[in-house]
A and B are shown apart, each in its own frame.
Chain A
Amino acid sequence: DAGITQSPRHKVTETGTPVTLRCHQTENHRYMYWYRQDPGHGLRLIHYSYGVKDTDKGEVSDGYSVSRSKTEDFLLTLESATSSQTSVYFCAISDRDLGPQHFGDGTRLSIL
């Protein structure tokens, strides 16, 4: 598997609390992505990054922010978690815009 580490792997927290998920890569890939996966919706893109400090919104970005201060780390933040953000979150990386994306093992997040 590509060198992608997501942390934490599991988290349970309460509505209204801030949550930060981390994606760390050792491949030096330029592109990084955050997806969420929910039953009946498949995987949906939240945010992506095309370089250090270069990020943009995906299709379900409301309630989420991201940061990429260095190539290897892409952080996803829920400023004030809501129950609708309970999901499995996947990070993906790619070395080029149209290249294959390689996924991490996911973070299972539950908002109570």
Chain B
Amino acid sequence: ETGVTQTPRHLVMGMTNKKSLKCEQHLGHNAMYWYKQSAKKPLELMFVYNFKEQTENNSVPSRFSPECPNSSHLFLHLHTLQPEDSALYLCASSQQGAEDQPQHFGDGTRLSIL
């Protein structure tokens, strides 16, 4: 149990579908992150939220739309995805302002685009 819960664990969707990934952290952190993990590539940072404000968008296509309603919840809304978007999507949280700020990860959502 890492304190960061992601749902669903697995998602299969067509290219025209709309779905959302959910992340919830129970660690009292104030920063949350979305990462993409594809085969044979390093983890790619997608978005950073600090105190509910988006502070980084790492050139992510607009078909990915993040939402952070409060410091405990983070969503990733998906629309008109492409086959190359199939990957493991990982959410993480940390305490911004703490000296070491280690990021704690959820178990991810395995996304497959048909």
Is A bound to B?
no
Interface residues of B (CB under 8 A from A): none
